[in-house]
Amino acid sequence: MRLFAAVTPPLGAREELRRQVSAAASGGPERLRWTDPDDWHVTLAFYGEVPEERVAELCTRLGRAAHRHPPLELRVRGAGRFGDRVLWAGVTGDRPAPERLRRLADAAKAAGRRAGAPADDGHRYHPHLTLARARGDVHLAPLVERLADFGGATWAATELQLIRSTLPRSGVPGERPRHELLESWPLTG
């Protein structure tokens, strides 16, 4: 199954961001697939396809990692893009939250490695909430500029989550992957 580890903003924080996104999105390019606020999450580690028999070990190790890391006070700030493919809102916090978030992401990656489900580790870790994905030929820079003043209230990430992502099979254009919370562990370090 296709799995990733994440922390998730609570409803209030997502609602606050959703209002700002809808305001900025109106009149934006049409070839963007906006993500569903119910699915907004900060990916810590993306494991991709994990064989069934490795999942229990991954859960055990993620549980231990959660036990060693404290809850995090985070907030949304600004926006950015990965090329012209992904539009995102940045996630930060007062020190030491950003460093702690990075350490939690490292721990989630290490849990995968040790459980035989290594995470995709090709990029520098940049905490974000994906807002939209482009299908090509869209210039995201103007949107990033429009969203530059994005800011939100502080929220607490209190648990580490393991989420299953099921890719759409129907072939219906615009259909999104389905996300399902498999397990979560309170951050108690």
CB of 65 to ligand 2AM, least distance (A): 18
CB of 126 to ligand 2AM, least distance (A): 9
* Closest CB to ligand 2AM among residues 92, 130: 130
- 128 noted as active-site residue: yes
In whole angstroms, what separates CA 76 from the centre of its chain? 12
Measured at the CA of 73, the angle between CA 87 and CA 19, to 5 degrees, comes to 45
- 179 noted as active-site residue: no
Which residues make up the interface to ligand 2AM (CB under 6 A)? 4, 43, 46, 86, 120, 130, 165
Per the residue annotation, which of 69, 123, 126, 128 is the catalytic one? 128
Q: What H or E segment, with its residue span, contains residue 86?
A: strand 86-92
Return the half-sphere exposure (C-beta side, CA atoms, 13 A cut-off) of residue 91. Answer: 31
* Closest CB to ligand 2AM among residues 177, 186: 177
Measured at the CA of 182, the angle between CA 189 and CA 57, to 5 degrees, comes to 65
Whether 37 contacts 132, CB under 8 Å: no
CB of 167 to ligand 2AM, least distance (A): 9
* Closest CB to ligand 2AM among residues 99, 120: 120
Active site residues: 41, 128
